Amino acid sequence: MPFLPEHPRFKGITLPPSGWVLAILLATYIFTGLIGHDPWKHDDAVSIGVAYDMVVNGNWLIPQLAGNPYPDAPLYYWTSAITAHLFSWLMPLHDAARLSSGIFTLLALEFILLAARELHGRENAAAAPLILAGSIGFLFHAHEAQPMLAALTAHTAAYWALTLLPRRPALATLAFGAAIALGFLANGLLPVLTLLPVTMYTLWQSGTRRICALLVTIAIALALFLSALWLLPLRMASPYFFSIFLQSELDSLTKSVSFFSNTLRYLNLLLWYAWPALPLAAWALWSKRRILRSRPMALPIFSFLSVLLILGLSVEVRSSAALLLLPPLVLLAVPGVATLRRGAANAFDWFGMMTFTFLMTVVWIVWSAMVFGWPRQLARQAVRLEPGFVGHFSLMAVSVSMLATMIWFWLIITSPRSPMRGIMHWMAGLTVFWLLIVALWMPWIDYGKSYRPLSASLAKKLPEKFDCIANANLPDSILASLDYFDGIRTVSLKDAAGKKCHWLLVQGEARDLTSALSANWHEIWEGRRHGDRSENDWFHLYRRAAK
């Protein structure tokens, strides 16, 4: 950068980062935000709810959510239940369960490093985990209870195994078989299906196709064996759950979607989701356009296009499913870091430093508004968004945040010139910014997103003894939250048992439930989270009048 000294006065880290520097950076990135907040909506609450049921009720073979079978692959829930069991003495169970996401994130970063080393050499490989961790979409899912993280780990391990196959066939065979089994047990058929095209492409490109085909066949046999260790006991214990699991997997891949518009939505999502992997991959395509048929370029290109095709054909746009697009995009982007022209590299470095310095300043100013009431306009806005929130000064949070901020400025001043400096500053800036958000804003965020107060308010309105509560339209995340916080379980109104219940819990407007409300129901409670304003976010509890 022109405004930085060529030889800084204080020696900084070496680039590419390695050893304890890379370990501390990745550890800070991975474990910041995993703990310290309640289960939130969607996948976070559902995954913790399934793991909670395993720990409390021992339903390890057949995953259950709030007392009902939950047809999904079990590996992530097993891992979450194990970490919850091991560390619940040290932290709340939901925080301990979420540690499994940190384990899978760490493994995914390690495997993408190994795959990049095989494709692009040791000197460029360090860029791969930095690009993956620096991808904005990956940041959000890496810090929630998300089963797709296990599938992502399976994909990165599979790419490593496929790139390793010509050099160390025995190890690659074992790794690929384990990766296929991991993908299936983590998220069902989708991770396996998206790996098939790149596997066939690897065989076609191999110079020894017969030998490689034999090794892949052995790997698939190993994957089937490992998967059968769960499927066969499941089939024997509950044929019904076995059938609905397989049917749900098939249904999820055969939904009627518009391929063209669905694919465009995924590409549109990647514009921010895969930043900065996407522009670096685009530059790599342009700078290496003469050798696109070479193995280091062709394999990630083919893999990205095939995964995009499968997602566009069969999976409605989901942020979690887009995680499977990141590994091939990262492997394609790695050579783009080293080949960036000096002006473009300086511009990328400048953009990252200025962007995150500005965002960190905003975090500090908004924190001041939440805790000290200055600036007043921001303070009023914070209270308006989360009514009733009162900010408190935390010496520990402020000390950690100040230290992280000072490290950030030290890093950008002392980093030596290197093609790796731009992506290093980007990933480090994202990590420090995320740490400031967690340390300074998490009480405010958790206040608005947690369902704990809502569940406690509902529990107070219920008598000590009652027959059952029917639910008409509650999503799985709400069922999981109510069960986890206060042991409140409901029965579907569509079931025969639900129609006999004297209590009814509804989310949103109840006028659509004409068949249920015609049975002389009376509303006795309503509630919502602090920041929810829409009528669809309100919850209503009804009681059937005695005949």
Look at residue 432 and tell me whether its pLDDT is greater than 90: yes
**Is 7 a residue whose pLDDT tops 70?**
no
Q: What are phi and psi of 503, to 5 degrees?
A: -130, 145
Q: Report strand pairing: 539-544 vs 521-527.
A: antiparallel
How far apart CA 54 and CA 236 sit, in angstroms, is: 19
Per-residue tokens: 420: 């790796």
pTM (2 d.p.): 0.92
Digit-coded pLDDT (tens) for 195-204: 999 999 888 8
For residue 546, pLDDT beyond 80 = no
For residue 153, pLDDT over 80 is answered with yes
Lowest mean pLDDT among 19-23, 56-60, 311-315: 19-23
pLDDT at 239 over 50: yes
Cβ atoms of 438 and 38 within 8 Å: the answer is no
Rounded CA-CA distance 164/293 in Å is: 18
Q: pLDDT tens digits for 507-535?
A: 877 555 555 556 678 888 988 887 777 77
**337-361 average pLDDT score:** 90
452-544 is a CATH 3.30.950 domain: yes
- Calculate the CA 386 to chain-centre distance: 25
Average pLDDT over residues 338-345: 85
Planar angle of CA 445, 449, 454, nearest 5 degrees: 135
Write down the pLDDT at residue 510: 59
The predicted pLDDT at position 10 comes to 52
Range with the lowest mean pLDDT among 96-105, 265-274, 377-386?
377-386
Residues found in the chain: 547
Q: How many degrees, rounded to 5, is the angle at CA 541 between CA 535 and CA 547?
A: 135
pLDDT of residue 155: 96
C-alpha distances out from residue 53 to 47, 64, 93, 335, 469, Å: 10, 7, 11, 45, 19
pLDDT digits (tens, 9 = 90+) for 389-419: 888 889 999 999 999 999 999 988 888 888 8
pLDDT at residue 4, as a whole number? 46
Reduce the DSSP state of residue 65 to 3 states and report it.
strand
Distance CA 94, CA 45 (A): 9
- Average pLDDT value for residue range 110-126: 91
368, pLDDT greater than 90: yes
Question: So what's the pLDDT on residue 3?
Answer: 42
Distance, in Å, from the CA atom of 422 to the CA atom of 333, rounded to the nearest integer, reads: 13
CA dihedral 395, 400, 405, 406 (to 10 degrees): 100
Mean pLDDT of all residues belonging to the chain: 88
> Shortest CA distance to 454 belongs to which of 502, 501, 496, 486?
486
Query: Mind listing the pLDDT tens digit for each residue in 287-332?
Result: 887 777 788 888 999 999 999 999 998 888 889 999 999 999 999 9
**What confidence tier does 429 reach under pLDDT thresholds 50, 70, 90?**
very high
pLDDT band at 376 (very low <50, low <70, confident <90, very high): confident
Residue 8 pLDDT more than 70? no
Percent of the chain with pLDDT strictly greater than 90: 53
Q: Which two tokens stand for residue 196?
A: 């098939």
The tokens of 73 are what? Answer: 């692959």
Mean pLDDT of 327-350: 90
First to last CA, the chain: 80
- With a cut of 60, say whether residue 189 has pLDDT above it: yes
* Full 3-state SS string of 376-420: HHHHHHHHHHCCCCCCCCCHHHHHHHHHHHHHHHHHHHHCCCCCC
Mean pLDDT to the nearest integer, 94-104: 95
Angle at 329 between CA 324 and CA 335, to 5 degrees: 150
DSSP code at position 529? -
Amino acid at 469: I
Domain layout of the chain by residue ranges? 33-256, 342-449, 452-544
Looking at residue 6, its pLDDT comes to 47
- 3-class state of residue 521 by DSSP: strand
Long-range CB pairs of 262-268 (<8 Å, 24+ gap) are 262/311, 262/312, 262/313, 262/315, 262/316, 262/317, 263/308, 263/309, 263/311, 263/312, 265/317, 266/308, 266/311, 266/312, 266/317, 266/322, 266/325, 267/308
Q: What are phi and psi of 466, to 5 degrees?
A: -155, 160
What does the alpha-carbon distance between residue 427 and residue 333 come to, in Å, rounded to a whole number? Answer: 15
